[in-house]
């Protein structure tokens, strides 16, 4: 039986429509407009496109958007000064640093300078710690989007065996923690994992975020498993995921395409985190 497609574009659109209503209600009740500031340094084409998408998404849902487009010659202290200003700007509820940053700038130092309450990327150690402890926090956007996609299937996550491939601080680890929060039994796999096939064969939910094309093939997937492909890599000028889609679609019950699956959800969750930060204020 062919898997059902988890259309990230459609689901993200529904989420943004809901957010627009909540943002309007917030403004009508308090006069507050959620504000997002994006800081980008250098002229990376992909990053510039992504920032433009974020600005348009903000406008579409009624958010205030502010961008700082800095030259590649910008210094670390100059970026830190901008973050300090934004930390104290009452119109700004979320601060996002577009990666990568120019060579010589410490991304960790930059990210840690953002006040945890405005850290809508969920990268600050305070927010990481709260996520680990099961406390309310601003969590990384891609993992949040992954959970929303899984929930959209209507299948209860509680008690399911979820296998996450990849242990990055941006996707793999937080995705595992969010799945634990939903009461899944989580196995976290990585490049040193032995016999990945047998582990995947027992998985009710597979989240792959390794960035290795064709890592997950159809014969590795348990019948009726949910497959979320969060790994992307450009091959021959084409964006591909970790999962061999043509094989997996014949084995899984639900599957995300690449592109059009997890990607659109990341921006939707970015907006959701910005609103969450504004509501806390």
CATH code: domain of residue 60: 3.40.50.10860
Question: Is 121 considered catalytic here?
Answer: yes
Catalytic, out of 119, 121, 204, 229: 121
pLDDT band at residue 101, thresholds of 50, 70 and 90? very high
Q: Which residues contact 212 (CB under 8 A, 6 or more apart)?
A: 231, 233, 242
CATH code of the domain containing 180: 3.40.50.720
Average pLDDT rounded to a whole number, residues 167-187: 97
Average pLDDT rounded to a whole number, residues 151-170: 97
Q: Are 112 and 152 members of one domain? A: no
Residue 274 forms part of a structural domain: no
Question: Is 98 considered catalytic here?
Answer: yes
Q: What is the pLDDT of residue 175?
A: 98
Q: Are 145 and 81 members of one domain? A: no
Residue 42 forms part of a structural domain: yes
Residue 24 forms part of a structural domain: no
Q: Are 108 and 177 members of one domain? A: no
Q: What is the pLDDT of residue 281?
A: 78
Catalytic, out of 98, 204, 242, 276: 98
Q: Are 175 and 249 members of one domain? A: yes
Residue 200 forms part of a structural domain: yes
Q: Give the chain's mean pLDDT.
A: 95
Residue 127 has pLDDT above 90, yes or no: yes
Residue 271 forms part of a structural domain: no
Q: Is the pTM higher than 0.85? A: yes
Residue 230 forms part of a structural domain: yes
Q: What is the pLDDT of residue 48?
A: 79
Q: Is the peptide bond before 203 cis (omega within 30 degrees of 0)?
A: no
Q: Which domain holds residue 38?
A: 34-117
Residue 259 forms part of a structural domain: yes
Q: What is the pLDDT of residue 236?
A: 87
Q: Are 259 and 187 members of one domain? A: yes
Q: What is the pLDDT of residue 46?
A: 74
Q: For tokens 């996707």, what's the residue?
A: 171
Average pLDDT rounded to a whole number, residues 84-88: 98
pLDDT band at residue 235, thresholds of 50, 70 and 90? confident
Q: Are 102 and 196 members of one domain? A: no
Residue 28 forms part of a structural domain: no
Catalytic, out of 54, 118, 173, 222: 54
Q: Are 77 and 150 members of one domain? A: no
Q: Are 110 and 153 members of one domain? A: no
Q: How many domains does the chain have?
A: 2
Q: Are 91 and 146 members of one domain? A: no
Q: What is the pLDDT of residue 63?
A: 98
Q: Are 150 and 112 members of one domain? A: no
Q: Are 49 and 153 members of one domain? A: no
What are 25-65's pLDDT values in tens digits? 999 999 999 999 999 998 777 777 888 888 999 999 999 99
Q: What is the pLDDT of residue 234?
A: 86
- Computed on alpha carbons and rounded to an integer, the radius of gyration of the chain in Å comes to 19
Q: Are 110 and 155 members of one domain? A: no
């Amino acid at each position: 039986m062919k898997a059902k497609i988890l259309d990230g574009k459609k689901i993200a659109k529904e989420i943004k429509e809901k957010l627009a209503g909540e943002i309007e209600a917030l403004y009508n009740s308090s006069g507050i407009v959620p504000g997002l500031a994006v800081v980008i340094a250098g002229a990376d084409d992909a990053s510039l496109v992504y920032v433009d998408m974020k600005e348009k998404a903000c406008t579409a849902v009624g958010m205030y958007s502010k961008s700082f487009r800095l030259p590649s010659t910008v210094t670390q202290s100059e970026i830190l000064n901008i973050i300090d200003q934004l930390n104290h700007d009452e119109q700004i509820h979320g601060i996002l640093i577009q990666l990568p940053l120019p060579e010589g700038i410490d991304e960790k130092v930059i990210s840690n300078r953002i006040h945890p309450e405005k850290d809508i990327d969920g990268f600050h150690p305070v927010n990481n710690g709260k996520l680990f402890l099961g406390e309310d926090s601003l969590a990384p956007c891609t993992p949040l989007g992954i959970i929303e996609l899984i929930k959209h299937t209507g299948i209860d996550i509680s008690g399911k065996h979820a296998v996450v491939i990849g242990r990055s601080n941006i996707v793999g680890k937080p995705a595992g923690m969010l799945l634990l929060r939903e009461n899944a039994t989580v196995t976290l796999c990585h490049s040193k994992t032995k016999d990945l096939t047998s582990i995947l064969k027992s998985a009710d939910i597979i989240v792959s975020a390794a960035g290795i094309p064709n890592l997950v093939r159809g014969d590795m997937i348990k019948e009726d498993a949910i497959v979320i492909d969060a790994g992307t890599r450009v091959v021959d000028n084409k964006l591909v995921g970790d999962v061999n889609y043509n094989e997996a679609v014949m084995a899984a019950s639900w599957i995300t395409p690449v592109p059009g699956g997890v990607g659109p959800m990341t921006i939707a969750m970015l907006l959701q985190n910005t609103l969450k930060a504004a509501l806390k204020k």
